[in-house]
């Protein structure tokens, strides 16, 4: 196992732990920035030549009503699942198709976006939500994998 494979495995394990914390109602111990009652953020970034992930979402805004807090947590849960899937597919060498050089994925309060570029930086595919990205990743999953489940909230 090389250092890059180890980095994928460690990060995927951290994402899984964070999802468990979120689903159990525990305070998140990883990927949290900021302080105070309304200024905390869930932040996950991944930078490598073929994959860039940038997720920045509000977290633990205690002055908001329970419904807003639940919606924030649901969006963080979806982001954790997407990041996990992206890293899993990348670790298996199936992230990009022929002619593609990099995938950029982002999520913030303004929405989700993705963009696939070629070696010259020209956009080959993009979307303002993750439905197209999800379809790409589903098609890229190795067929010998028993099950990779993503349950969107």
Which carries the bigger pLDDT value, residue 151 or residue 59? Answer: 59
Let me know if residue 153 belongs to a domain. no
* Consecutive H or E run containing 57: strand 51-58
Q: Which residues contact 50 (CB under 8 A, 6 or more apart)?
A: 90, 95, 96, 101, 102, 103
Let me know if residue 121 belongs to a domain. yes
| Statement: the pTM of the whole predicted model exceeds 0.85 | yes
Let me know if residue 146 belongs to a domain. no
| Per-residue model confidence as pLDDT tens digits over 27-73 | 999 999 998 888 899 999 999 999 999 999 999 888 889 999 999 99
Let me know if residue 147 belongs to a domain. no
The answer to whether residues 61 and 37 touch, using CB atoms and an 8 Å cutoff, is yes
Give me the number of domains the chain comprises.
Answer: 1
Let me know if residue 12 belongs to a domain. yes
Share of the chain above pLDDT 90, in %: 71
| Domain of 51, in residue numbers | 3-140
What mean pLDDT comes out for the span 110-135?
Answer: 94
Whole-number mean pLDDT of the chain? 90
* Token digits of residue 101: 């050089």
């Amino acid at each position: 196992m090389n250092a890059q494979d180890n980095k994928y495995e460690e990060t995927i394990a951290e994402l899984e732990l964070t999802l468990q914390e979120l689903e159990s109602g525990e305070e998140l111990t990883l990927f949290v920035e900021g302080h105070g009652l309304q200024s905390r953020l869930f932040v996950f970034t991944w930078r490598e030549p073929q994959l860039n992930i940038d997720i920045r979402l509000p977290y633990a805004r205690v002055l908001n009503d329970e419904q807003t807090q639940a919606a924030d947590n649901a969006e963080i849960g979806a982001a954790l699942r997407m990041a996990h899937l992206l890293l899993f597919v990348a670790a298996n060498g199936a992230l990009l198709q022929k002619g593609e050089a990099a995938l950029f994925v982002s999520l913030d309060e303004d929405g989700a976006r993705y963009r696939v570029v070629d070696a010259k930086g020209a956009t080959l595919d993009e979307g303002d939500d993750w439905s197209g990205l999800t379809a790409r990743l589903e098609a890229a999953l190795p067929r010998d994998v028993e099950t990779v489940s993503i349950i969107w909230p």
